[in-house]
Structure 1
Amino acid sequence: MNDANSTVLTVKDLKVNFSTPDGEVQAVKGTSFSVKKGETLAIVGESGSGKSQTMMAIMGLLAANGKVSGSARYGNTEMIGADLGRLNAVRGSKITMIFQEPMTSLDPLYTIGKQIAEPLVHHRGMGKRQARARVLELLKLVGIPEPERRIDSYPHEMSGGQRQRVMIAMALANEPDLLIADEPTTALDVTIQAQILDLLADLQKRFGMAIVLITHDLGVVKHVADRVVVMRRGEIVEQGTRDAIFEHAQHDYTKMLLASEPSGSKAAPPANAPVILEGRNVTVDFEIGSGILFKTSRKFRAVDSVNVTLRQGQTIGIVGESGSGKSTLGRALLRLLESDGRYRFDTSDISLLDRKAMRPFRRQMQLVFQDPYGSLSPRQTVGEIITEGLYVHEPNLTKADRDKRAIEALKEVGLDPAARNRYPHEFSGGQRQRIAIARSMILKPKVVILDEPTSALDRSVQRQVIELLRDLQQKHDLSYVFISHDLSVIRAISDHVIVMKSGRIVEEGPTDDIFESPAQDYTKALIAAAFTH
């Protein structure tokens, strides 16, 4: 690997099949590409396109029901069909991989120091003292604060961004020739995402390693990739240099992906539009360390004296990093958790209402969650899920009436009414989110709070969901509170933006004002991170 232009990995006619109860499923259908030393190759495509399975097959990490054929050569070593000994000589040493969700990749029972040391002991035969010294070097290299203290921390004691840095340190322990990064920033806030991408670029220059970046975020690809491979349904439909793909895309699918960035803008409602939901001096405290295992407890202030005024037909976007209080504020406005402050819905003061007294208001104040799969019962049909609220709020409806309403709700969100007899696992992520929206819309609400409703979706699906929400808002004169750390989505759907940090509002105003001329340094940093990377 001494030649600066040498090829690190060559893949030819790679195929991946999975055996299922319904027969063979072709996940990857004969892909061919190469990766050169020092370059970043991005593999892009929607969920299910075969991006991750391609690299998992090369690493010998397919599920038990997976079969792979073709060729993937690292230097003179054929990875496909290699025995465990040959694979282990390469994996973790010459080719390493980091995943989207570090919490599921890190062992919760071991300190991060021991986990980073493992490849050093296994591949280099280092002793404990030597490995610990190298781990401290790696923690400093990836920017972990106070590495001497953090080396003995457990994964749950670290933030998402810090855990991802630990995964990078582990991957770099043996200075690999190739780093495979599978959606390494998708679950992170924009500022942390920018830091991780900068870190990878810096480490790549330092070690001269190649990077394969698997992602559906074309904004990231545009700024970090040298070459791009576009995959769809298990096949490569187009590949070329970054500039060629972004400026002269040939395939219709590539053009569709490039056009999927959320766009457009939302006009503000009239200044005299009636106030539909209001929270004054909203404050939420959580008890930390309470219970039989703790002698003392303390209060953590998640939301600190926040004021929100939502008008009819308005969309307020709430942005901020993880832990800023966005979601907690949304739930407080719906009176779903204990909080202090004054609350008004329409013309009613709901500040002191208990759970029973709040019930009549619930149908008009709906919530859509981030993970549609987690919020939909796997044991109920789609029809049962979306009509569940009718049993509570319209108990006199007949079965035929409920079925009619289900059909109307599914049509309204662009789904086949026949879907009401199927189960959530039979649908894609975007379709499941439409089902979650239908469940809210069937009750004909006035206010919908949407908590990261598009963050788990591909860009093309995000765009469809945003367009659906716009159409529903216009049709029913709805008011939205849209919570997200994705600023491009917030810009496309909101007419007013609230920026939160540490439980407080640091800045708010019309969407164009916030994005074009932010006043606060924190807002400027968020916007720079979102639109520079």
Structure 2
Amino acid sequence: MTQESILTVRDLRVTFSTNDGPVEAVRGIDLDVKAGETIAIVGESGSGKSQTTMAIMGLLSQNGKASGQALYRGQDMIGMSDQSLNKIRGAKITMIFQEPMTSLDPLYRIGEQLAEPLRFHGGYTKKTARPRIIELLKLVGIPEPERRIDSYPYELSGGQRQRVMIAMALANNPDILIADEPTTALDVTIQAQIMELLADLQKRLGMAIVFITHDLGIVKRFADKVYVMRNGEVVEAAETQKIFQQPEHNYTKMLLDAEPEGTKSPPPADAPVLMQADNVTVSFDLKKSWFKATTVLKAVNDISLTLKEGQTIGVVGESGSGKSTLGRAILRLLKADGKIAYLGKELPLDPQDMRPMRRELQLVFQDPFGSLSPRMTIGRIITEGLLIHEPSLTAKQRDERACAALLEVGLDPSMRNRYPHEFSGGQRQRIAIARTMILKPRVIVLDEPTSALDRSVQKQVVTLLRDLQAQYGLSYLFISHDMAVVRAVSDYVIVMQNGKIVEQGDTVQVFDHPREAYTKTLMQAALSDKRFGT
């Protein structure tokens, strides 16, 4: 591996102007990236990881200001004009963003969006770009790329959208790839494939990778050097082996020890049934052509489940298996065949008739940034549901409830006057959870609620969910690809593949004694010491 330094960062500082005064997000850090090297930046949500790379790329929000140096092959990118930066961004340095749905234009097909960097930086035409796009989609594991090239982002699962972003970043064979939580939305088997792909491309192309993540298993397996950040500062930096075997800083030791733990006991046998789904099927008509009849895709195929008061059903499976679709169908957010009942009464099909019941049946979305209005403070976002379901509350009472909800999810109530873009991905997810919890619902569908959170915060959220469940008798449908979290929060597990349930049972049974080959593959991927490497 060559030791040429291609990116040198010195005394980088990032400050945001907020309603509560200036906030210093990055406080004078130094980084060095060499050709062919993989460095990892780790730390809790809000530690400044993402803002560091956004500052380097000149992508800070309007109220953000960066100072210091970020030298790419001798060119200082801090303060560089957009015209000059655009010669580097997307060609020499590319970035995989944490939240793909907000990075992909919903009005354009993914093939059109992948063609843009190829045509702008690579000199491709519309005709010559198509074979390259199909090649990229194959590289990142998108099934049927010849068909998917004409899909819109909303037609893909969260994991598939993230893979499209990876393909876009790799389009022009960059010098440096900045990967901001690139495997957050991916299941454990695809995580391994993506990381192996990036490692292979790195060897062939000699590119450097700056990897921002909270998954320490990936860090141990793929990084050469680790920078540990806390409160905007680098508290420890060393070779990966030293960080894991001989950490010096107490904060680093805490990160290495953080892990969701414990198990959940099932509800009493006589616990009342809250939700009953019988033979639920969700079908989508795929695009029809002149030569082919319409193809019907059954994203959820004849699924039945029973959710009791105080129970948590974990739903696991690979991206595209139908997990999220099932969750939305049960809440009547998607058209579905079959019977869905709440407290013994079938849920109405009409959205207006469902509206009064939304308070008791809530959803925490997978993509927090896409579900939070950028024009509203988080205080207003959190209390928005109260305007509908508790209109008699005064503004002061709503504000008090917002403060309490923020405290419940581990955020400072003084942050309620800030906007979503001023928070890290993990903080935004906690805001989304607070918005749901403020209504004190009885059933919550949690769609990857911890996917954007670092391990220490995941542990806190698991504890929070348990405490709220015990206090209010909540029932959860917990959708996730993170087996450690599913095991810690669930007392029953459903395993999905291609829209069907392939195995289900008590959590201990499914995890420790899986019967089906597919379940065994998932468990092996999750439990092969992935998190801390083998």
Contact 1:103–1:155 (CA under 8 A) maintained in structure 2: no
Give distance in 1, aligned partners of 2:79 and 2:399: 55
Give distance in 2, aligned partners of 1:361 and 1:90: 51
The 3-state SS of whatever aligns with 1:440 is coil
- 2:242 matched to 1:261? no
The 3-state SS of whatever aligns with 1:435 is helix
What is the number of equivalent residue pairs in this alignment?
A: 514
| Matching residue of 1:523 | 519
Deviation at 1:466, TM superposition (A): 1.7
| Matching residue of 2:122 | 120
- 2:465 matched to 1:466? no
Contact 1:499–1:508 (CA under 8 A) maintained in structure 2: yes
Give distance in 1, aligned partners of 2:490 and 2:163: 33
Deviation at 1:247, TM superposition (A): 3.3
Q: How does 1:80-159 map to 2 (within 5 A)?
A: 80=78, 90-102=88-100, 104-105=102-103, 108=108, 110=112, 112-113=114-115, 115-121=117-123, 149=146, 153=150, 156=153
Give distance in 2, aligned partners of 1:337 and 1:139: 28
Give distance in 1, aligned partners of 2:261 and 2:122: 47
Give distance in 1, aligned partners of 2:306 and 2:350: 22
- 2:474 matched to 1:478? yes
1:409-461, Cα deviation, whole Å (9 max, x unpaired): 749936899889968859843552453243332x6x3x433333333444333
Q: Which moved more, 1:156-165 or 1:32-41?
A: 156-165
| Matching residue of 2:235 | 237
Inter-CA distance 453–143: structure 2 relative to 1 (3 Å threshold)? closer
Contact 1:382–1:423 (CA under 8 A) maintained in structure 2: no
2:207 to 206, 209, 233: 209
- The one-letter amino acid paired with 1:413 is E
1:454-496, Cα deviation, whole Å (9 max, x unpaired): 3344433332222111112223333322222332221110011
1:98-141, Cα deviation, whole Å (9 max, x unpaired): 333455556637363453243222xxxx8888877776766665
Inter-CA distance 510–233: structure 2 relative to 1 (3 Å threshold)? same
Give distance in 1, aligned partners of 2:161 and 2:499: 23
Inter-CA distance 415–32: structure 2 relative to 1 (3 Å threshold)? closer
| Matching residue of 1:282 | 280
| Matching residue of 1:413 | 408
Give distance in 2, aligned partners of 1:300 and 1:97: 33
Deviation at 1:46, TM superposition (A): 3.0
Q: How does 1:417-496 map to 2 (within 5 A)?
A: 428-429=427-428, 431-441=430-440, 445=442, 447-496=443-492
Inter-CA distance 162–269: structure 2 relative to 1 (3 Å threshold)? closer
| Matching residue of 1:313 | 310
- The one-letter amino acid paired with 1:513 is Q
Contact 1:413–1:434 (CA under 8 A) maintained in structure 2: no
1:8-47, Cα deviation, whole Å (9 max, x unpaired): 3322222233456765543322111212333210011233
- 2:498 matched to 1:505? no
Deviation at 1:507, TM superposition (A): 0.7
Contact 1:117–1:132 (CA under 8 A) maintained in structure 2: no
Q: How does 1:155-174 map to 2 (within 5 A)?
A: 156=153, 164-165=162-163, 167-173=165-171
Give distance in 2, aligned partners of 1:232 and 1:406: 30
Inter-CA distance 31–419: structure 2 relative to 1 (3 Å threshold)? closer
| Matching residue of 1:293 | none
Give distance in 2, aligned partners of 1:388 and 1:345: 24
Contact 1:119–1:170 (CA under 8 A) maintained in structure 2: no
Contact 2:41–2:210 (CA under 8 A) maintained in structure 1: yes
Inter-CA distance 420–202: structure 2 relative to 1 (3 Å threshold)? closer
Contact 2:409–2:434 (CA under 8 A) maintained in structure 1: no
Give distance in 1, aligned partners of 2:256 and 2:447: 26
Q: Which moved more, 1:245-254 or 1:59-68?
A: 59-68
| Greater Rg by CA | 1
| Matching residue of 2:69 | 71
| Matching residue of 2:226 | 228
Gaps of 5+ in 1: 291-295
Deviation at 1:302, TM superposition (A): 3.2
Give distance in 2, aligned partners of 1:85 and 1:219: 38
1:62-106, Cα deviation, whole Å (9 max, x unpaired): 445544333333444444455678756654454333333455556
Contact 2:9–2:31 (CA under 8 A) maintained in structure 1: yes
Contact 2:117–2:171 (CA under 8 A) maintained in structure 1: no
Q: Which moved more, 1:371-380 or 1:269-278?
A: 371-380
Deviation at 1:242, TM superposition (A): 2.0
Give distance in 2, aligned partners of 1:135 and 1:362: 42
The 3-state SS of whatever aligns with 2:439 is helix
Contact 2:406–2:431 (CA under 8 A) maintained in structure 1: no
Q: Which moved more, 1:160-169 or 1:410-419?
A: 410-419
Give distance in 2, aligned partners of 1:120 and 1:404: 52
Contact 1:314–1:479 (CA under 8 A) maintained in structure 2: yes
The 3-state SS of whatever aligns with 2:438 is helix
Give distance in 2, aligned partners of 1:513 and 1:74: 53
1:252 to 250, 256, 264: 250
Inter-CA distance 248–264: structure 2 relative to 1 (3 Å threshold)? farther
Contact 1:424–1:432 (CA under 8 A) maintained in structure 2: no
| Matching residue of 1:49 | 47
The 3-state SS of whatever aligns with 2:120 is helix
Inter-CA distance 178–508: structure 2 relative to 1 (3 Å threshold)? same
Contact 2:216–2:256 (CA under 8 A) maintained in structure 1: yes
Deviation at 1:505, TM superposition (A): 0.7
Give distance in 2, aligned partners of 1:311 and 1:111: 44
- The one-letter amino acid paired with 1:486 is D
Q: Which moved more, 1:166-175 or 1:236-245?
A: 166-175
The 3-state SS of whatever aligns with 1:53 is helix
Give distance in 1, aligned partners of 2:396 and 2:325: 36
Q: Which moved more, 1:126-135 or 1:68-77?
A: 126-135
Q: Which moved more, 1:82-91 or 1:469-478?
A: 82-91
Gaps of 5+ in 2: none
Contact 1:280–1:308 (CA under 8 A) maintained in structure 2: yes
Q: How does 1:24-43 map to 2 (within 5 A)?
A: 24-43=22-41
